[in-house]
Amino acid sequence: MPGMNSISAPGLPFMKMHGLGNDFVVLDLRAGGEPPAPGVIARIADRQRGVGFDQLATIEADDQADVRLRFWNADGSVSSACGNATRCIARFVMDETGRDRLSLRTDHAILLAEDAGGGLTRVNMGPPVLDWRAIPLARDVDIDHLPIEGDPVATGMGNPHVTFFVDDAAAVDLASFGPAMEHHPLYPQRTNVEVVQVLSRDEIILRIWERGTGPTLASGSCSCAAAVAAARRGLTGRRVRVNVPGGVLHIDWRDDGVWMEGPTAHVFSGVLTPEWLAS
């Protein structure tokens, strides 16, 4: 059949997934194999010459959890956490196995995922990191009132975050504000940047600049960090509806961790050709 050789030829199989437009290339390495080198990851992220993604994730075998997950940003740098990719992969493995609960190991922690019904997937992202050394920050400061113009909040969700509260999130020039804050000297490993407009005690608007990627339509860890920061400031309760450009996530900061719930999509599967990988 025409075209079948290109599908069955050796190469690197992948899946394209997204959670509210926060998109991922996912490599299933449970049968073996190594992740691509950082330079190849950055090439795969190219939306004109590669596949395009906000993060790349691998699924690997693990002896303490159902699967192990690893994440990379679009520039090829490592990310220890990616909430929406975790939900997408959890949904894929639950559909594959017929189970409604899973454990997933990340560089940050072993996370629990469950079927939330109605096609939604819920993941416990673990407790927020509230120690300046572990976020990490460059020095000991008040994490609820950082010495940065705009009086932001610092939070760790397995990766670093800075959250700003503004009257009008849409008015912020994220293209210039995001990279300036990502590289702020208070954050030695760079940081994710959140701009939050509080609508009520249980609803916020969130715009996102992801470390190593740029503006994204959604981010699970950023949504968790923004919700935790708003609750710590007393601006909201601990359960909030988070409106991101790609849709809605529900965040619930419980005693056992920060739970995130929302939709997922497995868009397509494909194969990166050996010729492209070697070019």
* Within this chain, domains 4-121+264-278 and 153-255 share the same CATH topology: yes
Q: How far apart are CA 51 and CA 1, in angstroms?
A: 25
- The average confidence (pLDDT) of the chain is 95
CATH superfamily of 4-121+264-278: Diaminopimelate Epimerase; Chain A, domain 1 (3.10.310.10)
Domain 153-255: give its CATH code: 3.10.310.10
**Confidence check: pLDDT of 8 > 70:** no
Domain boundaries, the chain: 4-121+264-278, 153-255
Question: What are residue 79's phi and psi, to 5 degrees?
Answer: -125, 130
- Which pair of structure tokens corresponds to residue 114? 């469950």
**Confidence check: pLDDT of 4 > 50:** no
Confidence band for 6, pLDDT divided at 50, 70 and 90: very low
Q: How far apart are CA 104 and CA 71, in angstroms?
A: 13
What lies within 8 Å, CB to CB, of 272 at 6+ separation is: 11, 12, 13, 14, 44, 51
pLDDT in tens, 96-154: 999 999 999 999 899 999 999 999 999 999 999 999 999 999 999 999 999 999 999 99
Q: Cis link prior to 188 (omega < 30° from 0)?
A: no
State residue 10's pLDDT score.
81
**Confidence check: pLDDT of 239 > 50:** yes
Does the global pTM surpass 0.85? Answer: yes
Mean pLDDT in residue range 54-58: 98
Q: Is 52 helix (H, G, I), strand (E, B) or coil?
A: coil
Judge residue 249's burial from the number of C-beta atoms within 10 Å of its C-beta, 0-12 exposed, 13-18 middle, 19 or more buried: buried
What lies within 8 Å, CB to CB, of 128 at 6+ separation is: 155, 156, 157, 224, 225, 228, 253, 258
**Nearest CA to 265 among 26, 11, 7?**
26
